[in-house]
Amino acid sequence: MSAPVDLSRIPLFARLDAAGHEVLLGLMTRQAVKAGEPVFWFGDRGDTLYIVEGGRVEVTAPDAKGGHVRLDTLGPGGVFGELGLIDGGPRSATVRALTDCSLLALPREPFHTFLRQRPDVAIDMLQVLGARLRASTAAIRGLPNPNQVIAETATRWQRVSDAVATVAASHAFTITHIAWFGTWIGLNTVAAAGWVPTALGFDPYPFGLLTLIVSLEAIFLSIFVLVSQNRQSERDRIRTDLDYQVNVKAHVEIVGIAERLARIEQALMEPRTPAGHDRVPS
């Protein structure tokens, strides 16, 4: 038999008095989940908060390849699904039981009835959720830039390749080679014509030595450029993945806002009767 859950140790309900804890415990129902079974799936309607009374659960989210990324594991006293109490929106993660679990389920409607009786609890919950949001925002801001991580973890060979590729793409590199080739060809050409001492014509036409040097340079430059392009492709892939995740999150948020607006519109369109009067059927 699991020990009774102490709601005072749960941040969301920590500010409640003992009487409020008793009322909330009376609103909860006990739910048994066997190991390996899901409590709910990603995208399911969220209308219940769960508290782990005994056992362990795993919180996962789907990735772009259809797999599951583990976000957290919760033991006795762990809470999940709290956002369902606020907006009733779709679940943002999947929760499975790692072991045989005993859960306490708090449905949304009874909890809202409780809040109407105790509005001070709603204010306390808003403060707790606001603190969580600030902490999450601070954590996200503290995450390192993926491109910076790639740059810091680059090997010496990769850094040399990036530097060579950057130099090879510069104007100075092109101008230097034009000047070099022009001087080389011009000097050997005028030396072959006898306009300058023939000893200066170290590479007469068809300029075999120059061809050899340029060929070797092209081979090594192509290697450096390919290595640098692979790293650039990795950076582009990470940037694309991040853009995709941001777009998906924005889509979910927009859909949620649209659903809330639809519910507000429906509530405004419903016919209302003055207080103390009954509607007379037509």
pLDDT digits (tens, 9 = 90+) for 225-252: 888 888 778 777 777 777 777 777 777 7
Residue ranges of E strands in 98-188: 101-107
pLDDT digits (tens, 9 = 90+) for 124-166: 777 776 776 676 666 556 555 666 666 666 778 888 888 888 8
What separation, in Å, do the N-terminal and C-terminal C-alpha atoms of the chain show?
58
* pLDDT for position 276: 45
Contact (Cβ atoms closer than 8 angstroms) between residue 94 and residue 61 = yes
Report d(CA 61, CA 252) in Å as an integer.
Answer: 14
Neighbours of 144 (CB within 10 A): 8
Q: What is the average per-residue pLDDT within 37-41?
A: 90
* pLDDT for position 190: 86
Closest C-alpha to 146, from 28, 12, 241, 215: 241
* pLDDT for position 234: 76
3-state secondary structure of 201: coil
User: Residue 79 pairs with which residues in a beta bridge?
Assistant: 51
Contact (Cβ atoms closer than 8 angstroms) between residue 111 and residue 29 = no
pLDDT digits (tens, 9 = 90+) for 102-133: 999 988 888 888 888 887 777 777 777 677 66
* Full set of structural domains in the chain with CATH: 7-141 (2.60.120.10), 146-268 (no CATH)
Contact (Cβ atoms closer than 8 angstroms) between residue 96 and residue 74 = no
Consecutive H or E run containing 51:
strand 48-54
Contact (Cβ atoms closer than 8 angstroms) between residue 65 and residue 10 = no
- Of residues 60 and 137, the one with the higher pLDDT is 60
Q: How confident is the model at residue 281 (pLDDT cuts 50, 70, 90)?
A: very low
- Residue 175: pLDDT above 90? yes
